[in-house]
């Protein structure tokens, strides 16, 4: 932070305005993906730090309670958007931003999508088992069997989609997605 001490008030104000615009943009973007605006602003503020920061420092910078700051940091850490780092002589946890936005995107969506895929596939597979049981129980009722078969086909189509989505998630996690859509240099 001492590098800012050498700046004039005018320079500081202009720097603050440009950073604020980016921080606001980051917050709005993350809000689109279900991350609260305040956590988006937290990431945005941390993005401009050159050194790792403590909860206390970020709490002071953002005017948030330490509890709210802790929750925000934990969320960003769970999403792999910040890392806990070791600092010589510091007994407090230090955090730094993961600056690779491609990796942040891949991690965020992999975490969120993987959870959704697992939950949805589990529900669909349970339904298939229930339908199989109903088919056995009502094996002489052709009209009901036809309905059950139609439902089975629809669920199988949904399962195909989730298996495809699972492979897409794998491509994000392995980086293979960049073979098809390369990152800019």
pLDDT digits (tens, 9 = 90+) for 38-61: 999 999 999 998 889 999 999 998
Question: Per-residue pLDDT averaged across 63-79, rounded?
Answer: 92
Query: Distance between CA atoms of 68 and 39, rounded to whole angstroms?
Result: 9
Structure tokens at 66: 């330490």
On the question of pLDDT at 6 being above 90, the answer is no
Query: Distance between CA atoms of 61 and 164, rounded to whole angstroms?
Result: 43
For the ranges 4-8, 162-166, 168-172, which has the lowest average pLDDT?
A: 4-8
DSSP 184: P
pLDDT band at 124 (very low <50, low <70, confident <90, very high): very high
Letter string b/e over residues 89-110, b meaning 16 or more CB atoms within 10 A of that residue's CB? eeeebbbbbbeeeeebebbbeb
Question: Per-residue pLDDT averaged across 171-176, rounded?
Answer: 95
Structure tokens at 154: 């629809």
Torsion of CA 105, 26, 67, 109, to 10 degrees: -20
Looking at the structure, give the CATH architecture of the domain made up of residues 2-98: Orthogonal Bundle (1.10)
On the question of pLDDT at 149 being above 70, the answer is yes
Q: Please tell me the predicted confidence (pLDDT) of residue 2.
A: 66
> Domains of the chain: which residue ranges?
2-98, 102-180
Tell me the per-residue pLDDT of 85-100, one tens digit each, with 9 for 90 and over. 987 777 888 999 998 9
Query: Distance between CA atoms of 114 and 88, rounded to whole angstroms?
Result: 37
């Amino acid at each position: 932070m001492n590098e800012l001490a050498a700046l004039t008030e005018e320079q500081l104000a202009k720097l603050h305005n440009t950073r604020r615009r980016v921080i606001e943009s980051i917050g709005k973007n993350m809000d689109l993906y279900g991350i609260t605006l305040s956590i988006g602003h937290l990431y945005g503020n941390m993005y401009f730090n050159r050194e790792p920061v403590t909860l206390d420092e970020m709490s002071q910078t953002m005017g948030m309670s330490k509890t709210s700051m802790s929750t925000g940091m934990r969320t960003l850490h769970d999403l792999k958007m910040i890392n806990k780092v070791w600092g010589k002589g510091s007994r407090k946890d230090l955090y730094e931003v993961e600056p690779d936005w491609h990796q942040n995107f891949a991690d965020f969506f992999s975490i969120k999508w993987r959870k959704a895929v697992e939950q949805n596939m589990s529900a669909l597979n349970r339904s298939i088992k229930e339908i199989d049981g109903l088919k056995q129980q009502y094996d002489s009722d052709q009209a009901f069997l036809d309905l059950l078969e139609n439902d089975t086909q629809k669920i199988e189509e949904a399962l195909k989609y989730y298996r495809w989505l699972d492979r897409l998630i794998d491509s994000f996690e392995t980086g293979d997605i960049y073979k098809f859509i390369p990152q800019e240099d």
